[in-house]
Each structure stands twice: as structure tokens, then as C-alpha cells.
Structure 1
Amino acid sequence: MSYGLVIFAQIAQMFVLMAVGVLLFRTGRMGTAGAKDLGSLLLYVVIPVVIVRSLWTERSEETTAVIVETFFLSLALLVLAIVVSRLVFRRDGLLAFSAAFSNAGFVGIPLVQAALGEGAVIYIVCMIGWLNALQASVGVLMITGDGASVRPRAIATNPIIISFALGLALYAVGAPEPAFVGDVLATIAGLNTPAAMIVCGSYLAQARLRDFSESRGVWAVCGVRLVVVPLLTLLLLAVLPWGHGVVGLALLIAAAAPTGANVAIYAAQYDGDYKTAVLTVCTTTILSIISLPLLISLGAAAL
């Protein structure tokens, strides 16, 4: 089966899980508070465990080279996305945030696992770490326009950044992973896809059909997030001497993912346009069922 078909099949499964979230929210079985709690579980427990688990592996020259390579490549790709988004949305920081930062954790991880195998998550952990650091700094600056809003402590205490540092430390010292611990971590990591999609479904349940047709800015975000940034990412990966093969494909999947759910969290926290933030998450997620398989098929041929 081609990469594009694998991605399509995985996204289809994820949409079924999103439908569960919509149903739970619409029937009152899960409210806004419940969705927020589930999001906190993902942010503070599940995603950090996925990151630690992917880095807690046997040390080798090949793996070290991959970590170093993806560390710098991920930063370059995110800077590219930020610059492009800021150029397109000069007057709207929230839309720039939405276009710049993908859902590399909630969506990227299960897609990479489905297309390239569970061990391939290590190729995108650096991007997830950088993405969260840049959201908490550059992203906050985009939304607020005020440098004083950026809090270094919030960046340093971000659970995903902490888990990335912990995972690197475990890898560096070559710490053995006890079988029992590995089983527990695997069980927790397995919650990522269903929990994340149910949360996305709760966002979708809050949007009205009329909202989608009335928000031109959201459609512009879709074009930048799902088409422009991924194509430029693919072009950069193709011309650079690094990031080819499965490494480049994994990075492309993460970079081409829809808008990250964190935009809604940051919008609520910093008095941004929460409604528009939710719409960008929902619309890009829905349209990604078309864009992602096509882009990944193109990437598989080019990389």
C-alpha cells in the first residue's frame, strides 16, 4: 500500500474518533470542562510519555546522527513556516499563529506511526519540542503583539520541553528501560490518538456551519497551512543534503499536519479570538483528509 493510501486510511480512522467527540459534546456527555481536562491529560502526560518513550532507546551513532540532523532541520522548517505565515498575515497575529504551527503531536504522531512505523516517532520529536517552545514565545508574541507577554518560565516548565530534555538525558546516559516501565509507557502512549481526536471532535462540535462560510481568514489559513507551507517544506527538504528518505517524509508529515489545537488554548489564555482559533483547527483538520495523502504521496516520490 502506498504512503498516501496509508495516510488516508489513518486519517479516516481519526475522523471516526472525532465523530465520537462530536457526539459526546452534542449529547452533553462531555462539556467544555471535560474536553479541557482531556486536553490537559494529553499535554501533561500522554505526549510527554510518547516523546520520552521514543528517545529512550539504545544509543548508537546512527540514532545520534538522526537526532542531531532532525534537531536543526526541524528548527529550519518551523522558521520557514513562521516567516511565510507572518508575511501572509501581517495584520492578524492569530491567523499567522494558526498557519505557522501544525498539530505535529496530536495528528503528526499517529500518522508517522501508521506510515513509517512506531519507531519513526523519533524523527519528529525535535520538531514537537521546537514547536512548543516557539508557540510559547514567538506564538504568544504573534497573538498579543507584546513582548512582555512572553514568559521564559512558561517555556522552561512546558511539559513537552521537559519530556524532550528528559528523553535526551536517558538516551545520552544509555539508561536501560525496565520491561515493566516500558509496558506502562506503551499503554499511556496508546491514548494519544483516541484522546486527541475526541478533543478535536469537541472543538468541531462547537462550530456552526454558517461560521465556516463567513470566515474568509480561516480559508486563507487553510491555503497556507495545508498547501503553501507543506510545499515549501518539501522543496527545502529536497534541495538540502539532509532530510531525505523516511526522515524527510516523517518531517513532512508533521509539517503538513493541520493547525495545532494549542492555538485555541493560547487564544483563550491571551484574550485572542477564540472562535476563529477553533474554526482554523476544525477547518484545516477536515480538509487535511484531502491534502495530507496527496502531499505525502508527492513527498514519497521526491524524497
Structure 2
Amino acid sequence: MDLNNVFSQVLILFFIMLVGYFSRKRNIIEKSINKGLIELILNITLPFMILSSFNYEFSKEMLINAFRLYTISLVLYLTLVVLSKYLFKKYPYNERSVMRFVTIFSNCGFMGYPIVESVYGKIGIFYTAIFNINFNILIWTVGVMLFNNKEKQNVKKVFLNPGLVSVILGFILFIFSIKLPYPIQRTLELIGSTTTPLSMIIVGSMLADININEFFKDYKIYYISLLRLIIIPLVTLTILKFFNFSGMLLGIPVLIMAMPAAANTALFAEKFDADVSLASKCVFFTTVLSVVTIPLIIMLL
């Protein structure tokens, strides 16, 4: 792994994030535009990027690796769901729900895909899409229950979200070695390639909306940031190395676990009347710190 290239890629993503930050500060990107871009990414560009990444001839080795990554993902997420229940028992419900959400769900979409692609290339997107299947299912089930366990689960929303549908369609294409016509494949690639810059611009613009007055006085932010950015990825790395995983089977789980708090954290907190201030602080602080911590984690792979 060329560390200089990886650092350069992470720095590029950070600079794109700054473009989004200052564009929002100057009101070039308005809130309505921000919301529209998020919908564009989640419903079009990201699914297109995922679908185009499955353009490979069927390989038994790739299928086995995909199954292994799915299994690793399932074990990791279920472990975090259980552990987070006990880590934050002493906190009030509206804070506890936010802290558990941050612990379980990282920003595996807006930041995870770009970072993994910068390290492993297009094949990394293929495997990350498999790894993130459990994220897409759990965030609309467990994620909602963390904030409101009386909320009725929308099965259609869980299983028919564009991200999960694109993985299923892509996997069918891969299993049967179906090659899309060049104009369609190229269209998917071109539109999908806008996901990374758009995602980082959105992350930057979201950070610009967060009020950081008295920000550093909240000790909970340091605790959750240490857990999200350092402890979880390091424990994941140690366990996977103990079981002799290497390459992308090691790197992708560790990188996804090393991502900052999911952007959805503040959205869910606001929807279910949890601690929106704490949620926003977690997203801001972990995202800013991740510019430093992610390269450090990559060095350990």
C-alpha cells in the first residue's frame, strides 16, 4: 500500500470538504440545495456507483470473500448493538440514544466509500457494498428503535431503499456474469463518479451549520469520539488479525469502523426529539478528527 498516495487522497477529500464548508458559510449552498443534493446522492449517484462496481466476471473467490465480509459485518454490528447498551446506561435516555447510535453507525456512505476507493480502488466499492448491507438494514430497524422503540418499522423502507436495491441488482449481475451494454454501464460510472465529490461537499456544508460555541466543554464528545474513531477500529483490527484476516478482508471492516459518526445521527435525533445538540456535536467533532485518525488507522493495516 502506497501510504503517500493514501494520505494524498485523504487530503484531497478534506479539501473538497472545505469547499463545501465555505460554500455553505458564504450561502452559495443554501439549506434547500443541501437537502436536494443529499437526496440526489442517496437515491441516484450512490446507487449508480454501487451498481457499476459489480461489473466483474463471476469469481468463486470473490463470492467467498463477499460472504466472509458480510459475516464479519453482521458480527461487528450485532456486537456493537449489545455492547452499546451497557456502555451508556448511566446517561439520560435522550443522550444515551444518540451515543449508542454514534457507536453503532459510522459514516460508511458519504465518507466510507470514498476512503475505501482511495485505498483499494473500484474493487473496494464492490466489497464495501456487501459489507454495508447490514448497515442499510439495521439503521432503519435498530437505529429507529434506539430513539423510539414504539415506532412501527416500515419494512418497505428497510428493504427497498436505493442503496440496498442497487446491491441486490449488482449481485445478480455479478452471479450470472451479466454485462450491461456499454452506454448503460458508462452512464452508471459517470454519474456514480460524482458521489465522492458531492458527498464530501455535503459533509463540509453540514459542518458549517453546526454552532460550536461552548463545544469543547462537553466531555461526552471526547468519550464518544475516542470510542468511535480509535477504540472500535483498533479492537476490530486486533480481532481480525488474530483470526488471520488480511488484505481487503481486514482493511474494509477496519476502515468502515474507523469512519466518523453517521450524518443521519442529527437527522434521527431531530425527528425523535432526542439530544440534537449532542448529535450535531458528535457528527462535527468526529468528522474533523477523522481527517487525522483515518490516515493513522490506515498505517496500521
- TM-score between the two structures when normalised by the length of structure 2: 0.92
Count of residue correspondences: 296
Cα distance, 1:261 vs. partner? 0.9
Runs of 4+ in 1 over 6 A off after TM superposition: none
1:212 and 1:6 map into 2 onto residues whose CA distance is 33
Shift in Å at residue 155 of structure 1?
0.5
Q: Whole-Å Cα distance in 2 between the matches of residues 137 and 14 of structure 1?
A: 31
Partner of 1:44: 43
CA gap of 1:135–1:251, structure 2 versus 1, over 3 A, is same
Listed one character per residue, the Cα deviations across residues 215-271 of structure 1 (whole Å, up to 9, x for unaligned) are 332222201100111111112211225x42232112211121111112122223323
Q: How far apart, CA to CA, are the structure 2 residues paired with 1:158 and 1:72?
A: 21
> 2 CA distance for matches of 1:76 and 1:40?
30
Q: 1:148 to 1:208 in 2, by over 3 A?
A: closer
Root-mean-square deviation (Å) = 1.8
Counterpart of 2:284? Answer: 282
What aligned pairs does 1:229-268 form with structure 2 within 5 A after superposition? 229-241=232-244, 243-268=245-270
Q: How does 1:118-133 map to 2 (within 5 A)?
A: 118-133=122-137
Tell me which of 133, 141, 156 is aligned to 2:145.
141
Alignment correspondent of 2:271: 269
Instruction: Please list the CA deviations of residues 115-168 of structure 1 after superposition, one character each: whole Å capped at 9, or x if unmatched.
Output: 122222222112222112111111111122x14343222212221111111111
Moved more, 265-274 or 282-291: 265-274
Q: TM-score, normalised by structure 1?
A: 0.91
Which is helix-richer, 1 or 2? 1
Aligned residues of 1:84 and 1:229 also touching (Cα < 8 A): no
Unaligned runs of 5+ in 1: none
User: Matched residues in 2 for 1:248 and 1:153: separation?
Assistant: 32
| Structure 2 contact 260–286 (Cα < 8 Å) conserved | yes
Matched residue type, 1:62: E
Matched, 1:189 2:188: no
Q: Percent identity?
A: 28
Asked if 1 retains the 8 angstrom alpha-carbon contact of 2:53 and 2:126, the reply is: yes
Q: What is the CA-CA distance between 1:278 and the residue it aligns to?
A: 2.2
Matches within 5 A, 1:18-57: 18-57=17-56
The reply on whether 1:173 has 2:172 as its aligned counterpart is no
Which sections of structure 2, spanning at least 5 residues, go unmatched?
Answer: none
- What secondary structure is seen at the aligned counterpart in 2 of 1:171? helix
Q: What CA distance in whole angstroms lies between the structure 2 residues aligned with 1:198 and 1:69?
A: 33
